[in-house]
Each structure stands twice: as structure tokens, then as C-alpha cells.
Chains A and B, each alone.
Chain A
Amino acid sequence: MINTLARIDFAASAGRTPWHRASALSKLILAAAVVGLAVFSPSLRLLVALHVLAWILALTSRMPARVVVLAAGYPLFFATLFVVMSWDGGWSSPLRMMLRPLTASLAAVWLVGTTPYPDLFAPLSRVLPRAVGDGLFLTYRALFDLIERTERLWRALRIRGGASAPVRKRLTLAGEGLATLVLYGFDRSQRLYATMLLRGHSGRICGCRHYAEMTRSDLLVALAGVVVAAAAVALWRTP
């Protein structure tokens, strides 16, 4: 899961498609519209249309297909579980139940795969409480550093026989290993705090100020929005 996140993060920063050049705000609005319609749509045809559009969005973002499939496929397990639990013998309800999360997930992957995280979190941090908005930035910033350390730690545990011990011992060792990461996180927070003070931290992490700057590429997002709206109007009342 985290490897997928790392690849998506790379794609968001290194991508050069028109989606990448469009503003974060317009993409957020489009993604919210797709997710909202997918969740509330009573029409199977509209769901199918949104699903196709979500695939087009995700694939034209030039993210590796494997990453798109991995990220978008996560809800499959849960949705399948739900379908199995409440299957009525028909195909309409299960199809709806599968398409809704998959469409929403694809829209989310398109959004994060084309938008660097400072641009993505900046508008969200405006509406969330300050501490939570800052938490988004600080958590994301610490994430990849800690992932690397976690992977090294696990490799070291395996090489030194940590994986062959009895389960209880193995889990306790894993806990002790994670405690070293807690310590590292604490030390890191002290260094980060010092850096923030040196850079003149004013009590708020502002993030990128360019999230609402429109470019010509936003016309493409607007076009996609028009397609979504037209599909909603035309298909909402269909079965």
C-alpha cells in the first residue's frame, strides 16, 4: 500500500500531462463531483458512465497502469465482502455496490496522481482546524522517511533471524523495532521544530499558494466537468 503511495507521489510531482498543469482546486471539485454522484446515483447507467470516465481520467494521467489498478482495486475486497453478505441473486445491486467504491477510488487516484501534496492539502487546510491542516503536511512530510526506515528495520530483523523466532518473540521484537521509530520520530520532531523556528514559523503551515491559480489546462478539467454534469442530467432517472 505504501509503495503504491510512493509511486503515486512520484507521478504527481514528475508528471507532465495537462491534468498535472491544471489547478488543484478545479481537480478537487471535479473529483468531489464524481465521488458524490457515484455515491448518490440511483441509476446504474450513470454509474457505468462515471466509471468509464474515471478510468479515462486515471489512464490519461500517465500513471503506470499497475499502480492505478493496485490503488483503485483496494475497495474490491471490501465491496466483494459486502456483495457476498447481502447478495440477493440478482446482478443489479452487486454491480452498483462494486461500481460505487471503484469509481470513487479511481477518481481519488487520478486526483492524487496529478496533484503534488502541498497543492492538494492547501485548500483542505483552509477548511480544517489549523492543527489538523498542519498535521496533514507534517505527517506526509515524515511519511517517506519513516517508510524507508521501517523497510530497513524489517530487512534487518529478517536477516538477523527475527522472522524465524516463535510468534510471541517475533511480535515483541517487532514492537521494540517500532519503538526505535517512535524515538526517531521524537528526535525528528525536535529537529523539525528547530528548523521551523529558524525559518520564521508563524504558527501556521501555509502550504502552496498556487492551488487556485487557473491555467489553460483547467479548460480540460472544466470539459470533464461538463461531461459529468451532462451524464448526470441525462442518466439520473434511467434505471
Chain B
Amino acid sequence: MSHLHVPDGVLPVALWAPGLALALILLVLSARSLRRATAQHMAYRGALGALVLAAMAVQIPFGPLEYHLTLVGPVGVLLGPAAGYQVVFVASAMLAFVGHGGFTVIGLNGLVLGAGVALARPVYEWLARSRRPPAAMAAATAAGQAVSGALWLTIVVIALGARAGVEHPGGPPGRLGLLLGLAAPMWLIGVVVETVVAFGIARFLGRVRPDLLPRAGAGERDAAGGAA
């Protein structure tokens, strides 16, 4: 549910404008923290950003529904919070150019995905001290995806509440129960799918190129690109 990008004109300005400002501030801060990154690391970020977009094209059938991957967890683990945030911001911006999510809500869409990305690496590093990489990657992805989904749901609930308050002061609120009934199962499915896929990614990388996976407690400098 976390990459169902919010389009323009649906959310109130009071919600998207601060979100955009915060996203841009975080973008500047992340750029500052990565100013010593090599061109190769930047190219690697570009490749993973493209992979995020390409993975969104993959449809995993679940009965009548189809799920689209986001790879929020693996990107966060492989690149770290700052670089990973830049990647998902760029992905959100590109999607906005084809109408998948609005221009005004690039900030919020970036923050929703960025929250998951930012959480994934610390969780991975903490778990990798005692667990094997696939399990640590899976748990980190589950945490990141859960947070992203929760943030998305929170934003939509706040927006619906605000709209109901503006249009019907003291009147009937939006149908939040219906929203939760629709969104919660999708959110859970998203967490499970992304977790198992992340497990597969880490299992393969652990066998073939373990140096691309960050070591426990290595920090952002050990992002995959820097391992080369």
C-alpha cells in the first residue's frame, strides 16, 4: 500500500506543503552527508533507483489482485538512509512525471517511502549481529514496509479527516472504517511479499557477492557502492 502514490489536488495544502518542505530539507541534508560519495557510488544509486522503478513494473498475482514491489527495504539496507532516501525521492519525482503521484505530493510520497528506507539499514545492522543476512534483511524490510504503510495510512486518514471537517463541520466523517478495511489487508500482504522477496535478494547476494551487503554496525560508509 505504501507505493500507491497520492495524486495532486486530493490532499489539503496544510498537509502536502509542510511535507514538501520537510522532504526538500532532508534532501539537502542527505546531499550534504553524501558529498564525498564517488561517482561510482552515484552510478550505483542510479542503477538501484532504476531497479526500484523496474520492480514496480513487476506484477505478482494474488488471486484477483496484483501486487507491485517497491524494494524499500533492500534499497535501504544496501544504500543506507541518506542515499536510499535520495533514490526513493528521485523515483517518486520520475513517477510524478508520468502521472503516478502528483508534483505537489512528491515530498509526501518521498517521505512515505523514505521512512521505510531510513529504518531498514539500522534494523539490519542491529539484527545482523546475531542473525544471518537473509533473516536480517527480511526483518529490516518488514519493519521498513510496515512503517511506510502505516505512514501512508496515517496521511490518508488525516486528509480524509481534514476534508470531512472542512466540508461537513460537525457532520458525518469520512468512511474511515471502509478505508481501513480495504487498506489493512493490502498493507499486510505488502509486508509479507516484500519480506519474502527481500529474503531471496539477501540469500542470493550472501552467496554470490556478500561484500555488497553491509556488515553489522558498519554505518553508511559501507553502503554497497562504497564496498567496491
Residues of B contacting A: mostly:
helix
Asked whether B187 is an interface residue with its Cβ less than 8 Å from the other chain, the reply is no
Query: Least Cβ distance of A172 to chain B in Å?
Result: 4
Query: Judging by beta carbons under 8 Å apart, are A1 and B10 in contact?
Result: no
| B32-43 interface code vs A (CB 8 A; 1 in, 0 out) | 101101111111
| Residues of chain B lying within 8 A (CB to CB) of residue A186 | 44, 47, 209, 212, 224-225, 228
Residues of A contacting B: mostly:
helix
Partner of A171, one of B40, B56, B193: B193
| A172-208 interface code vs B (CB 8 A; 1 in, 0 out) | 1111111111111110111011001100010100000
What is the bound-complex CA distance between A2 and B59, given in angstroms?
Answer: 11
Query: Judging by beta carbons under 8 Å apart, are B40 and A179 in contact?
Result: no
Asked whether B216 is an interface residue with its Cβ less than 8 Å from the other chain, the reply is no
Query: Judging by beta carbons under 8 Å apart, are B99 and A189 in contact?
Result: no
Query: Judging by beta carbons under 8 Å apart, are A180 and B43 in contact?
Result: no
Query: Judging by beta carbons under 8 Å apart, are B86 and A135 in contact?
Result: yes
Query: Judging by beta carbons under 8 Å apart, are A120 and B4 in contact?
Result: no
Asked whether A139 is an interface residue with its Cβ less than 8 Å from the other chain, the reply is yes
| Residues of chain B lying within 8 A (CB to CB) of residue A71 | 98-99
Q: Evaluate whether A1 and B9 lie within 8 angstroms (CB atoms) in the complex, with A78-B4, A86-B174, A135-B90 already known.
A: no
| Residues of chain B lying within 8 A (CB to CB) of residue A180 | 204
Query: Least Cβ distance of B35 to chain A in Å?
Result: 8
Interface size on B, residues (CB 8 A): 88
Q: Which one, B117-125, B143-151, B159-167, is touching chain A? A: B159-167
Asked whether A128 is an interface residue with its Cβ less than 8 Å from the other chain, the reply is yes
Asked whether A10 is an interface residue with its Cβ less than 8 Å from the other chain, the reply is no
Q: Evaluate whether A138 and B43 lie within 8 angstroms (CB atoms) in the complex, with A85-B160, A172-B196, A181-B51 already known.
A: yes
What is the bound-complex CA distance between A211 and B44, given in angstroms?
Answer: 27
What is the bound-complex CA distance between A72 and B68, given in angstroms?
Answer: 19
Query: Least Cβ distance of A205 to chain B in Å?
Result: 9
Q: Which residue of B lies closest to A138 (CB)?
A: B46
| A91-116 interface code vs B (CB 8 A; 1 in, 0 out) | 00100110111011110110110000
Query: Judging by beta carbons under 8 Å apart, are A175 and B201 in contact?
Result: yes
**Interface residue range, chain A:** 35 or more
Query: Judging by beta carbons under 8 Å apart, are B9 and A39 in contact?
Result: yes
28 sampled A-B residue pairs with Cβ under 8 A: A1-B68, A35-B8, A71-B98, A78-B6, A85-B174, A86-B175, A100-B9, A100-B10, A101-B7, A103-B9, A105-B99, A131-B34, A131-B35, A138-B43, A140-B50, A167-B62, A172-B197, A172-B199, A174-B197, A175-B196, A175-B197, A178-B51, A179-B201, A179-B208, A183-B208, A185-B47, A189-B225, A190-B40
Interface residues of B (CB under 8 A from A): 4-10, 13, 27-28, 30-32, 34-35, 37-51, 53-58, 60, 62, 68-69, 71, 74, 78, 86-87, 89-91, 93-94, 96-100, 102-104, 159-160, 163-164, 167-168, 171, 174-176, 178-179, 182, 193, 196-205, 208-209, 212, 224-225, 228
In the A-B complex, the 9 residue pairs with the closest CB atoms? A175-B200, A100-B9, A138-B46, A185-B47, A129-B31, A75-B7, A101-B7, A179-B204, A105-B99
